[in-house]
Structure 1
Amino acid sequence: MTQGDDSLTPIKPEESELLVVTGMSGAGRSTAANALEDHGWYVVENLPPQMLSTLTELVARMPQSIPKLAVVVDVRSQELFHDIRSSLEALRTSGVNYRVLFLDAADDTLVRRFEQGRRPHPLQDEGRILDGIAAEREVLKQLREASDLVVDTSELNVHALATTITELFSESGPIVLRINVMSFGFKYGLPVDANYVADVRFIPNPHWVPALRPQTGLDQPVSDYVLGATGAADFVDRYVHALEPVLEGYRRENKHYATIAIGCTGGKHRSVAVTEEIAKRLAQQPRLQVTAHHRDLGRE
């Protein structure tokens, strides 16, 4: 983990915090709820969206008693869930400060989890699990796009997800802005939780240099080769500079988390080296906490 300003301190909300936890069935809502509860959040699960405003009004009257409220909503009742956007808009209009955490995972991961649990998807009816997943994605599409945080749990077990939730929501609230810079290989698919994606396949591939092929972008010779290539340093400089107004905009919109994905063919050389360099540059900026993650490093 790379951190920015050592004087960075979490924001302590003056009023009650409201966190709406939603996402795909099987993506880990219950695990997230348990982790939040362990860290002092008052958690209400399976709340009908229409009751959000009523519950929030009650909490607003006693902010000292319930300073942090997490509400878990899902699509088991599609009719009720379709009203969630209007319910959230009503909260925003009334001045309630809330955020939406959306948990997602790849289709094959969700199928495996349902099969391991020997249970049907809540929306599959007489069809396959994949049919239920497709139906749920359609229902959740607009809510996912409007969410403040999207966490992909495909590669996370229950313990890793709990750790992620802990990092995002500490006892004193989340940090100002948390950036995850992720390398990946295009041949393994785009990261589903990426806010921004950059393609560095324009850089010469160290894979074709025999001495560099067995190494990775974490090794100095590969890093020197990649970042010393024509146009590479210029790309990093301009990309980090282009992100500055984006990050400021996130702060203004009270968004606390973003994933920047850097891709090459296999996620071993170019994207890893560039990800490390971009993470290092971003970490030099104040009020940021930056992590570098290499999704496909180690794959064949």
Structure 2
Amino acid sequence: MQTEATQDILIVAGMSGAGRTTAAKTLDDMGWYVVDNLPLRLLTTVADMAERTDGALSQIAAVIDARGRDITRSVRETIAELSGKARVRLLFLEATDEVLVRRYDSVRRPHPLMGEGSLIDGIRAERERVHELRQISDYIIDTTSFNVHQLTTHIRDLFDTATAPKLHLVVQSFGFKYGTPADADLMVDMRFLPNPFWDPQLRDLTGVDAAVSDFVLSREGAREFLDGYCEALKPVFAGYQRENKHHAMLAVGCTGGKHRSVASANFLAVKLAELEGVQVSLRHRDLGRE
């Protein structure tokens, strides 16, 4: 008979410059035992040693350098070795090329894979190497629009087991003109509603303002769609919980991420927070960009 896993192991990987150090510091502050740049072949040894501490080291976070050519195979083998002994999850951090370039420039560091090429060459080479690892990750966080404090809060929301709900749901508004969120699990397109932009009295306001919110939610089909969508998500969230998926992002889009998506995201966040076992966080990615 398989014994119940007594350890929680989180492998932290992702693009260089995407926030692994911040994630590690946050987890350490939360009481996790954090090991940085640990060769994966030693993770099983660390887990075995931690098991002898009678629960004192029940949460281990291993921050790995994911640039090795066989990294995905190594991760798969490590997870297989720990199966039954520990609950193993994989966190992958990423950001856009442009943001990673800015972060490298700000600290004046060369990219370890750039060789004789440019910084962007190194970033793209690394992205190609970690592509398969990203595909098998349990959590993918796009830190493009995060500062250090926002990433810290997000990590705490995800991995604070003392207060963790069955499902942590991020409802995020965005503008299609700025690109779709790479880490969205579900996406809603609110461009079927009339755009408040064309009303001179509403153009300079946002979906946070009551006048815009009332305008959006009073359009024909708006409430019917949003109420129906919330109802349709109930079996989806129940399925997530059965599959031990503890984090999901619902992205709500319109053209510029200023009016319709913001008002709709606010509405959905309130409605979905009423569901049992679901904790909702609300973000407006592109609010203020135009």
Q: TM-score, normalised by structure 1?
A: 0.88
Q: 2:10 aligns with which of 19, 35, 50?
A: 19
Q: Show the counterpart of 1:32.
A: 23
- Confirm or deny that 1:153 pairs with 2:143: yes
Q: 1:193 aligns with which of 183, 186, 189?
A: 183
Aligned residues: 287
For 1:251 and 1:63, the matched residues in 2 are separated by 29
Q: Show the counterpart of 1:99.
A: 89
Instruction: Indicate the larger mover: 282-291 or 138-147.
Output: 138-147
Against the structure 1 CA distance between its residues 122 and 79, is the aligned structure 2 distance closer, same or farther, given a 3 Å change threshold? Answer: farther
The 5-angstrom pairing of residues 103-118 of structure 1 reads 103-118=93-108
Against the structure 1 CA distance between its residues 201 and 171, is the aligned structure 2 distance closer, same or farther, given a 3 Å change threshold? Answer: closer
SS in 1 for 2:200: coil
Shift of 1:218: 1.3
Please tell me whether the aligned partners of residues 182 and 275 of structure 1 are also in contact (alpha carbons under 8 angstroms): yes
SS in 1 for 2:230: helix
- Confirm or deny that 1:71 pairs with 2:79: no
Please tell me whether the aligned partners of residues 49 and 83 of structure 1 are also in contact (alpha carbons under 8 angstroms): yes
Q: Show the counterpart of 2:226.
A: 236
Against the structure 1 CA distance between its residues 153 and 23, is the aligned structure 2 distance closer, same or farther, given a 3 Å change threshold? Answer: same
Against the structure 1 CA distance between its residues 239 and 141, is the aligned structure 2 distance closer, same or farther, given a 3 Å change threshold? Answer: farther
Taking only aligned residues, the RMSD between alpha carbons, in angstroms, comes to: 2.0
Against the structure 1 CA distance between its residues 85 and 132, is the aligned structure 2 distance closer, same or farther, given a 3 Å change threshold? Answer: farther
For 1:63 and 1:196, the matched residues in 2 are separated by 40
Q: TM-score, normalised by structure 2?
A: 0.91
Instruction: Indicate the larger mover: 66-75 or 138-147.
Output: 138-147
Q: Show the counterpart of 1:286.
A: 276
Please tell me whether the aligned partners of residues 177 and 288 of structure 1 are also in contact (alpha carbons under 8 angstroms): yes
- Structure 1 gaps, min length 5: 1-12
Identity of aligned residues (%): 49
Instruction: Indicate the larger mover: 13-22 or 191-200.
Output: 13-22
- Confirm or deny that 1:53 pairs with 2:7: no
Shift of 1:76: 4.0
Q: For residues 155-209 of structure 1, what are the alpha-carbon distances to aligned partners after superposition, in whole Å with 9 as ceiling and x for unaligned?
A: 2222332232233333626332111100001111111221112211111101111
Q: For residues 219-257 of structure 1, what are the alpha-carbon distances to aligned partners after superposition, in whole Å with 9 as ceiling and x for unaligned?
A: 222112212212222221232222222211221222221
For 1:85 and 1:260, the matched residues in 2 are separated by 28
- Structure 2 gaps, min length 5: none
Against the structure 1 CA distance between its residues 95 and 68, is the aligned structure 2 distance closer, same or farther, given a 3 Å change threshold? Answer: closer
Against the structure 1 CA distance between its residues 243 and 146, is the aligned structure 2 distance closer, same or farther, given a 3 Å change threshold? Answer: farther
SS in 1 for 2:207: coil
Please tell me whether the aligned partners of residues 6 and 86 of structure 2 are also in contact (alpha carbons under 8 angstroms): no
Against the structure 1 CA distance between its residues 142 and 263, is the aligned structure 2 distance closer, same or farther, given a 3 Å change threshold? Answer: same
Q: Show the counterpart of 1:261.
A: 251
Q: 1:272 aligns with which of 262, 267, 271?
A: 262
Instruction: Indicate the larger mover: 177-186 or 141-150.
Output: 141-150
Against the structure 1 CA distance between its residues 246 and 126, is the aligned structure 2 distance closer, same or farther, given a 3 Å change threshold? Answer: farther
